Structure 1
Amino acid sequence: MADVAAKERKILVAVDESEESTYALSWCIENIITGNSTDTLILLYSIPPRAVYSSLDGSGYLFSSDILASMERYSNEVAQCIMEKAKRACKDLVGVKVETIVEHGDARDVICQAAEKLHVDMLVMGSHGYGVIKRAFLGSVSNHCAQNVRCPVLIVKKPKN
């Protein structure tokens, strides 16, 4: 019998600063990643859009370029910390390629666009476990992605302690 080459799998994991995201990544590593050298684990973080803008956009807020640059640096530092934490969680994976992507924008759009662009085989996300009311006001990133991406979506819910 001839050896059948394993299909390369691309698994996209959306990460953020939440415990739910960390749990989803850990669960994925323990239950989805097989150690198959053809697997690629892609860690994606979305830097949220700024809530304040320069005076040039007509919003009425006036912030100096120094303040805007500081806010941008802070956002990038947060992204770097989150990605370093996610990469540390993957440190013991043998033979699995781990890639990181940081994008700017609304998480819903960034995740859906990345899943489409990268042609991933699976999207893994944590769930914040919002109730009906909170989800109605805040929206659910995982629900939006589950409805709008073409690949299978695994939403991992952190068990209550």
Structure 2
Amino acid sequence: MGVEKREEKKIVVAIDESEESMYALSWCINNIISLPNQESSNSTILILLYVKPPPPAYSAFDVAGYLFGNDGVATLENYSRKLVDSVMTKAQKICMESNINIKVEKKVGSGDPKSVICGTVEKLGAHMLVMGSHDYGFFKRALLGSVSQECAKQVKCPVVVVKHPKNS
């Protein structure tokens, strides 16, 4: 008899630069991945997903009417890269501090967060999506929409929305 290989569970955690998303990541590690009855954490892949805004369509002229040069574009792209690195480093640190042996993959998407998150979850065949809640009030949520609410409607796997204690 051969050794049966278990399917790896894929848990996607949507992260950004917010305290709420880092709390959701920590909560996921402590409350889902490290559960005593959980199968070996070696059979779980934690996928850190960061969605950066799409690159703006730069006009030939900026607001003041000056030519928007390559230096400005390069500066914005460099800032975006540094932000991604910073968020991923912070998330990786949370994973390492948990002292749980788990596979971690990092994914970076660009575009509308709702579309990118839902598309990535679908493409990866994720078993669960974990997101932090920014807990916007009624008016802000009405204007911006709720990414977590939209993802919960669209994806086919369970969605866990983690509320930060400061928002309770």
Length-normalised TM-score, structure 2: 0.84
| 1:127 and 2:133 correspond | yes
Q: Name the CA distance, whole Å, in 2 between partners of 1:6 and 1:126.
A: 29
| 1:30 and 2:30 correspond | yes
Q: Name the CA distance, whole Å, in 2 between partners of 1:101 and 1:49.
A: 15
Task: Give the AA of the match of 2:78.
Answer: R
Cα drift, residue 148 of structure 1 = 1.0
Q: Name the CA distance, whole Å, in 1 between partners of 2:66 and 2:151.
A: 32
User: Is the CA contact (8 Å cut-off) linking 1:42 and 1:99 kept in structure 2?
Assistant: yes
Cα drift, residue 118 of structure 1 = 0.5
Paired residue secondary structure (2:42): coil
Q: Name the CA distance, whole Å, in 1 between partners of 2:166 and 2:27.
A: 15
Cα drift, residue 160 of structure 1 = 2.5
| 1:115 and 2:143 correspond | no
Task: Give the AA of the match of 1:89.
Answer: I
How many aligned positions are there?
A: 156
Aligned counterpart for 2:68 among listed residues 55, 63, 67: 63
1:82 aligns to what? 87
Q: Which runs of 5+ in 1 are unaligned?
A: none
Q: Name the CA distance, whole Å, in 1 between partners of 2:164 and 2:22.
A: 9
1:145 aligns to what? 151
For residues 51 and 132 of structure 1, do their structure 2 counterparts lie closer, same or farther at Cα, with a shift above 3 Å needed?
same
Length-normalised TM-score, structure 1: 0.88
1:9 aligns to what? 9
Cα drift, residue 104 of structure 1 = 1.4
CA root-mean-square deviation? 2.2
Paired residue secondary structure (1:94): coil
Q: Name the CA distance, whole Å, in 2 between partners of 1:9 and 1:85.
A: 23
Q: Which runs of 5+ in 2 are unaligned?
A: 35-39
1:102 aligns to what? 108
Q: Name the CA distance, whole Å, in 2 between partners of 1:62 and 1:111.
A: 35
For residues 4 and 134 of structure 1, do their structure 2 counterparts lie closer, same or farther at Cα, with a shift above 3 Å needed?
same
Q: Name the CA distance, whole Å, in 1 between partners of 2:68 and 2:24.
A: 38
Q: Name the CA distance, whole Å, in 2 between partners of 1:81 and 1:12.
A: 19
Cα drift, residue 4 of structure 1 = 7.9
Write out the 4+ residue segments of structure 1 that deviate beyond 4 Å after TM superposition.
Answer: 3-7
Cα drift, residue 15 of structure 1 = 0.4
Identity of aligned residues (%): 53
User: Is the CA contact (8 Å cut-off) linking 1:46 and 1:105 kept in structure 2?
Assistant: yes
CA deviations 1:38-58 (Å, max 9, x no partner) are 1000000011123451429xx
| 1:42 and 2:47 correspond | yes
